[in-house]
Amino acid sequence: MPESVGVMGGTFDPIHFGHLAAAEEARVRLGLARVVFVPNGQPPHKAGYVVTAAEHRYNMVVLGIAGNPHFEASRVEIDRSGPSYAVDTVKSLAGRLPADTRMYFITGADAILELLTWRDPEQLAQVCEFVAVARPGYDLDDIRRALGEELSRRVHYLDIDGLATSSTGLRKRAAEGLSLRYLTPDPVAGYVVSHGLYRELKCDREICGRD
Ligand code: ATP
Ligand code: MG
C-alpha cells in the first residue's frame, strides 16, 4: 500500500504543543506514516517582529519532536536561499520518496487561508492534499466557504478541541520572564532559557510603526 506522509511547515519560533498536537491528530486520523516538520527559511520579518535565526528554530523543532518516532525535522527550507514556496518544499520532499507516496500539507485553520494568497494553489493541490486542523478563534466553516468548493475537495478538515497556544504568546511570556513549561516540551523551554531567546521582543520599529 502506498505510504502517506504529512508535511508541516511553519516559522516554529518556537515550536509548541499546539503544533505537536495538530501534527499528531493529522497523523492518527489520516493514517500518516510520518510527519515532517519544515521550519521556514529566514524571512526578514513576520507580522511585525524579527524572526529568530533559522538554526535556533530548527534546533528547537528537533528537541520538540524527540520521542515521537513518527516525527522528523527537515532542513530543506533553511538550507535553501531565498523564499521557499510550499509547492517546491513538497516536491523536494516527495522526490526522495516512492513515486506513489501521498503527500499531505498540514496547517492550522489560520494558515490554510493563506492558500488563497499562495502563488499557485492549484499547482500545490496537484502535488498534495491539505489538512486543516482547528485552531481556537478560526471557524472551519468560514474557511471552507472562503476556499471554495474546488479547493475544499482537497482539504481534510479536522475539527478538534484545538489548543490556543501560539508562538507569539510564548515569545511574549518569555519576554516577561514567565515560564514556558507545559506550553512546549521541557527541552524546548530549557533551550529558550539557556540561549536567552525572546528576552526582549525584537520588534522592528519600522515594521511596527511605533517605539
Ligand atoms: P506565530 O504566533 O509566530 O504566528 P504560530 O503559533 O502561529 O506562531 P507558526 O509557526 O506560525 O506558529 O505555525 C505553523 C503551523 O502550525 C501553521 O499551519 C499554524 O496554523 C499551525 N499552528 C500553530 N499553532 C497551532 C495551534 N495551536 N493549533 C493548530 N495549529 C497550529
Ligand atoms: Mg502563525
**Cis peptide, bond prior to residue 43, ω within 30 of zero:** no
Q: What is the mean pLDDT of each run of 10 residues along the chain (211 residues)?
A: 94 97 97 97 73 96 98 96 86 95 95 74 90 92 88 91 94 96 98 95 51 40
pLDDT at 131: 96
Distance 108 CA to ligand 1 centre (A): 6
Buried b (16+ CB within 10 A) or exposed e, 197-208: bbeeeebeeeee
Residues with CB under 6 A from ligand 1: 10-13, 18-19, 22, 107-108, 110-111, 133, 135, 162-163, 165-168
Distance 170 CA to ligand 1 centre (A): 12
Q: Is the distance from CB of 171 to CB of 148 less than 8 angstroms? A: no
Strand partners, 46: 49
